[in-house]
Amino acid sequence: GNSVTQMEGPVTLSEEAFLTINCTYTATGYPSLFWYVQYPGEGLQLLLKATKADDKGSNKGFEATYRKETTSFHLEKGSVQVSDSAVYFCALSDQGGKLIFGQGTELSVKP
Amino acid sequence: EAGVVQSPRYKIIEKKQPVAFWCNPISGHNTLYWYRQNLGQGPELLIRYENEEAVDDSQLPKDRFSAERLKGVDSTLKIQPAELGDSAVYLCASSPPRTYNEQFFGPGTRLTVL
């Protein structure tokens, strides 16, 4: 079945450091891929998405590229801020619109 | 534009008691989802509605869980009786017609079963 695996947290970085959160997936067909973010005490928010191979999703300085050959969708940001501290979820959407999430990666950015 | 509204935000109950959660989706969103998020895990779909019809309830534990969306707008998820393992955050999400790729989530209801 379809599944998403992302790197375990917590990830602790200093402000302005480079961020990578790895995400790989297993799916039949051609799923859409997403990164959602959950700030403390808030609901999940869509951060970025990509709907086909080689697409790059970007938002708020975050980027992720849909790599079909490596079945990956790694999240990157060149310079993190304290306000980026949150839990990040990688997800895929199958043909029927069902979202399948990874287990989440907690990011903590220290000043 | 108002987001997805859920209530209550927190609920603490004794095991074997019933509990209900309410969700009001974004206006105009005909697709509504209920997810369960266990501690340290990603959300898992329980049920998906297209208007008032449940089109995917394969992951809903039907012996104790039920859901309804009678008028195709707001929805209620019920657990009766609750078990200790039901402690989790219950998330509601909605999406516009024919736009499954973008789901908007509510803040969730955190359920603690003692």
Q: pLDDT tens, B63-92?
A: 999 999 988 899 999 999 999 999 999 999
Measure CB to CB from residue B100 to each of A91, A93, A104 and give the nearest one: A93
Give residue B1's pLDDT. Answer: 66
3-state secondary structure of A61: coil
Give residue A80's pLDDT. Answer: 97
For chain B, give the number of residues: 114
For residue B48, list chain A residues with Cβ-Cβ distance below 8 A: 97-98
Q: Is B7 on the interface with A (CB under 8 A)?
A: no
The torsion defined by the Cα of A57, A58, A64 and A67, in degrees rounded to 10, comes to 30
Reading the block at residue B32, the tokens are: 């509504």
Nearest residue to A86 (alpha-carbon basis) of A23, A9, A4: A9
Higher pLDDT, B101 or B93: B93
Q: Tell me: pLDDT of B100 over 80.
A: no
Q: How far apart are CA A77 and CA A84, in angstroms?
A: 10
Question: Tell me: the pLDDT tens digits for A3-46?
Answer: 999 998 899 999 999 999 999 999 988 899 999 999 988 889 99
For residue A45, list chain B residues with Cβ-Cβ distance below 8 A: 105
For residue A102, list chain B residues with Cβ-Cβ distance below 8 A: 42
Q: How far apart are CA A72 and CA A69, in angstroms?
A: 8
Q: Are B108 and B6 in contact (CB under 8 A)?
A: yes
Q: Give how far Cα A12 sits from Cα of A20, A22, A73, A91, B96, Å.
A: 11, 15, 21, 22, 36
Reading the block at residue B74, the tokens are: 């707001």
Q: How far apart are CA B13 and CA B46, in angstroms?
A: 21
Nearest residue to B18 (alpha-carbon basis) of B58, B53, B62, B66: B66
Please name the amino acid found at residue A55.
Answer: D
Q: Give how far Cα B39 sits from Cα of A12, B31, B92, Å.
A: 20, 26, 17
